[in-house]
Each structure stands twice: as structure tokens, then as C-alpha cells.
Amino acid sequence: MSEPLVLGIETSCDETGVGIVRGTTLLADAIASQVDEHARFGGVVPEVASRAHLEAMVPTVDRALATAGVTLQDLDAVAVTTGPGLAGALLVGVAAAKAYALALGVPLVGVNHLAAHVAVDVLEHGPLPDPLVALLVSGGHSSLLLVPDVTDVRTLGATVDDAAGEAFDKVARVLGLPFPGGPHVDRAARDGDPAAIAFPRGRTEGAYDFTFSGLKTAVARWVEARTDIPVNDVAASFQEAVVDVLVTKAVNAAKEHGAALLIGGGVAANSRLRVVAAERCDAAGILLRVPRPGLCTDNGAMVAALGSELFARGVVTALDAPADPSLRL
């Protein structure tokens, strides 16, 4: 008998993602991005996100089914992100997943968005290393996690203020770069000097916590005090400060736990983060796994990947389960 076919729906923020996996094999990963709709506001507007998810939902599911070459009737389970995320946005995905599951007579599998960012790596690199430390850095979250198992993810530390991606987006704005700022800062930094300006590395009480608000303010002050801004140098110096802090703490956590390191979330697409993490993990003898950029940013494949793993273990979710904007690990 072939492995179960699982569809995964992701609507926690501003991407409508629908992935389809068979076991741990990725068959389709359809995305409807709303970036353009939010760009003019300089950030994600929850009400706009919910409406866009509603419009994109059925076409994105249909596109994923067509890519995978399967029909709804072939599905064995429907997985969905139940949290954490924007309440209205989550509700659209959860309602859609329940409707598909009920209509098809297959189980619903609710998944945690952060655990899904970790689980997605099995689609690209096979079973997760054990022990494993995960650094999740995106627009909404920055956490260091200890992952004994995808159903048992423990928080070692988290941001005490801005998420790493949020800092990228805000600094981009200060530099006059478009939203979302991460990729633009990344590009500008390639032509800049990372040692041009000594921006602060935020200190925290918890060894594995992060803070980026002081760094963000330091960049804003530096820029405000000048008229002729060397955008590439500021971008490179800011990026270096973020990457240095993220990689230093992640490598320390991996060393402490004798673990491999996995990096996920939108900021894991950052080219400098990937290079520095590879160099320092190599030097410390730590196995590093980073999914390809398309699997790091929010997507449906990650939900299908974790849903498939849970379904294989017999974990299913009741049809009256709520969406939970502040769902914990």
C-alpha cells in the first residue's frame, strides 16, 4: 500500500500556502503571496490578509492538486496551521481545512506553525537529526528551540522585543528600501562593508534570548544624523550585527546540547546568515541543515510535512478545534 497522501494548508500570516506530500515526498507546494497588497502599507494588515486568504484558498488548493496530479478524493488527511498567527488569517485556513476534511470524510490534523518550520526539512534532507537545536527566524518569530521530536519542541530562548525579520523590515524602511525589507537589505549588503559601522549586539539576560530593538534604534539614529547615507554599508553593518548574534547563540546552544543545528523561517533565506552559519558550524564540528529558501519562508509544504508525520502516528484533530493565535509549542 502506498504512503498516505496529505494536503497542508497555511494561512497564519500573509502567504496562502497549500502543500501536498505522500509520506515524506513533496508533490506540490502552491503559494499565493499577498506581499503586493501589504507593501503599500509597509507591513502586514490583518484584515487585508484574511480577505486575501479567502479569495486565494480554493484556487491555490486546485493548483496544488493539479501540480501533484491527484484529486481531492485521493487525499487521506487534511492538515492545517491552527496557530500561532493572525487570528482572522488562521480562521480562514482552519475553516477551509475543516470543510475539506468533512466533505471528503478524512481526518483533520492541526499543526503548530513553528514546529512545521522545523518539520519541513524532512522533505529535503530526510529524518531530523537527534539531538537537534532549531533557530527559527522570521517576520513574526525569533526562537531557539530544542527538538527531541517534532511533537516535543521546547523553547530555549526567544526574542524579547522585535523578531529578526521585523528588524530587517524596519531598517529597510529607514533606508528607503521596499517592503518586505529582508531581501532588499540582503541585496544592498552584498555591495557594502560589514565592518563599516560598529552597530551594537543586543545583550539579554537569558543566554538564548534575542533583542533587536536597540540595534534598530542605533541604525535609525545613525541614519538620522546624516544626509548622505551609504545605504550598502549601513545594510551590510546592520545585517552583520543580526547574523553575528543569531549564529553565536545558535552555535552555543548546539554545542551545549551536543546537537545538530537547523535554521528555518524567512530570515533563513538571508545569504550572509547561511554563509556565517556554515563557517561557524564547520569550525565547531556541528552538523548544519538549512532548507532551501522556498521552504524557509511560510509555505504549505511545511504544514503537509508535519501533518503527514502526525497522521502516521495516529494524531488527528477534532472538527470543533479552534484556531489559536497564541498557540504554544
Contacting residues toward ligand KG4, per CB under 6 A: 13, 138-140, 165, 168-169, 180-183, 186, 265-267, 269-270, 297-298
Strands 77-83, 5-10: pairing kind: parallel
Question: At 132, phi and psi to the nearest 5?
Answer: -135, 135
With DSSP H G I counted as helix, E B as strand and the rest as coil, what are the percentages for the chain, rounded to 5? 45, 20, 35
Q: Which residues pair with 234 in a beta bridge?
A: none
Number of residues that bind Zn ion (CB under 5 A): 2
Orientation angle between helical segments 164-174 and 181-189, nearest 10 degrees: 70
Residue 138 makes contact with Zn ion by CB under 5 A:
yes
> Measured between alpha carbons, how far is 207 from 178 in angstroms, rounded to an integer?
33
Nearer to ligand KG4, 168 or 210 (CB): 168
183 binds, among Zn ion, ligand KG4, none (CB under 5 to 8 A by kind): ligand KG4
Nearer to ligand KG4, 84 or 110 (CB): 84
Q: In angstroms, give the least distance from the CB of 138 to Zn ion.
A: 4
Q: In angstroms, give the least distance from the CB of 165 to Zn ion.
A: 9
Binding mask 37-76 for Zn ion (x = CB under 5 A): ----------------------------------------
270 binds, among ligand KG4, Zn ion, none (CB under 5 to 8 A by kind): ligand KG4
Q: In angstroms, give the least distance from the CB of 277 to Zn ion.
A: 18
Q: Which three cell numbers stand for residue 203?
A: 545583550
Alpha helices, H only, the chain: 35-39, 46-68, 87-104, 113-119, 121-125, 164-174, 181-189, 213-224, 231-256, 271-284, 293-296, 300-312
165 binds, among Zn ion, ligand KG4, none (CB under 5 to 8 A by kind): ligand KG4
Q: Grid cell 493539479 — which residue?
A: 66
Nearer to ligand KG4, 107 or 165 (CB): 165
> Per-residue b/e over 265-285, b at no fewer than 16 CB within 10 Å?
bbbbbbebbbebbeebbeeee
297 binds, among Zn ion, ligand KG4, none (CB under 5 to 8 A by kind): ligand KG4
Nearer to ligand KG4, 107 or 180 (CB): 180
Q: Which three cell numbers stand for residue 186?
A: 540582503
192 binds, among ligand KG4, Zn ion, none (CB under 5 to 8 A by kind): none
Stretch that binds Zn ion, among 79-87, 203-211, 234-242, 294-302 (CB under 5 A): 294-302
Task: Provide the 10 A C-beta neighbour count for residue 149.
Answer: 12
Task: Provide the 10 A C-beta neighbour count for residue 106.
Answer: 21
Residue 112 makes contact with Zn ion by CB under 5 A:
no
- Identify the residue among 268, 298, 302, 304 touching Zn ion (CB under 5 A): 298
307 binds, among ligand KG4, Zn ion, none (CB under 5 to 8 A by kind): none
Question: Which residues lie near Zn ion (CB under 5 A)?
Answer: 138, 298
